[in-house]
């Protein structure tokens, strides 16, 4: 089963956004990343709405007013690229990226923790390569003055910068969650209690009683 957005769990995460989960430096970094992610997710939503409006304008102008268009399509693409890549870290913070859960029920809790830590590590390595490559393309586009081949001709450093920033933030989010898992256990990194998806709702009802690594008592119905 793959993760997907769920309104109830997302709302619960929003209500708990200001709760300090971790002590020390990791706690400061965690709160800073959560604040930044909330701002970016809001801006990303505005970008998607703007892309819809731009494409609607393009359809009206092209097919109703019979006027040519030259900037709307690329503008919408740039807005979608920004919304997609910049919000990747915020989605990862909620464990909302697509994930295959076929092995979850077949492995022991200890094996699952190792599997998830390895998955985060491999994902971090891939995202580091992606971020490095994006920054390289961004530098080339800036130095060479590369522009799009359309009649509008916007500079290509704009989408490359959005991609590079988004992947860099995603790398920071992965590194933070790996550090949280190593220092305070899987629950601190969101493994034992995913924030989004059907799996979150199911896990919330079957968690065993007892204190978690952060000192909170966990019952079959949640935390207290």
Considering only CA atoms, which of 224, 208, 1 is closest in space to residue 104?
A: 1
- Would you say residue 103 lies in a domain? yes
Share of the chain above pLDDT 90, in %: 38
The contacts of residue 28 (CB under 8 Å, 6+ apart) are none
State the total domains in the chain.
1
Task: Report pLDDT digits (tens) over 157-184.
Answer: 999 999 999 999 999 999 998 988 888 8
Q: Find the domain containing 54 and state its range.
A: 7-223
Instruction: Say how far apart CA 7 and CA 172 lie, in whole Å.
Output: 26
* Crossing angle of helices 24-59 and 157-184, rounded to 10°: 150
Distances (CA, A) of 44 to 67, 84, 186: 30, 7, 29
Q: Is the whole model's pTM more than 0.85, yes or no?
A: no
- pLDDT value of position 215: 54
Collect all residues with Cβ–Cβ distance below 8 Å to 164 and sequence separation of at least 6.
Answer: 131, 134, 135, 137, 138
b/e code 107-130 from CB counts within 10 Å (16+ = b) = eeeeebbeebbeebeebbeebbeb
Residue 172 lies in a domain: yes
Q: Establish if 2 belongs to a structural domain.
A: no
Residues 13-69 pLDDT 10s: 444 444 445 677 888 888 899 999 999 999 999 999 999 999 999 899 888 888 888
Tokens 């009802």, located at residue: 205
């Amino acid at each position: 089963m793959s993760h997907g957005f769920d309104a109830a769990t997302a709302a619960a995460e929003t209500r708990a956004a200001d709760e300090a989960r971790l002590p020390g430096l990791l706690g400061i970094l965690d709160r800073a990343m959560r604040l930044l992610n909330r701002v970016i997710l809001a801006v990303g939503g505005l970008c998607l709405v703007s892309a819809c409006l731009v494409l609607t304008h393009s359809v009206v102008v092209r097919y109703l007013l019979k006027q040519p268009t030259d900037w709307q399509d690329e503008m919408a693409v740039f807005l979608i690229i920004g919304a997609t890549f910049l919000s990747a870290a915020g989605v990862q913070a909620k464990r909302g990226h697509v994930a295959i859960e076929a092995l979850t029920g077949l492995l022991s809790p200890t094996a699952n923790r190792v599997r998830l830590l390895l998955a985060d590590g491999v994902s971090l390595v891939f995202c580091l390569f992606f971020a490095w490559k994006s920054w390289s393309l961004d530098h080339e586009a800036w130095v060479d003055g590369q522009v799009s081949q359309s009649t509008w001709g916007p500079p290509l450093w704009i989408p490359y910068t959005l991609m590079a920033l988004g992947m860099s933030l995603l790398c920071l989010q992965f590194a933070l969650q790996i550090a949280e898992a190593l220092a305070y256990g899987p629950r601190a990194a969101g493994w034992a209690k995913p924030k989004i998806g059907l799996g979150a709702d199911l896990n919330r009802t079957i968690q065993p009683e007892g204190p978690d690594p952060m000192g909170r008592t966990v019952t079959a119905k949640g935390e207290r």
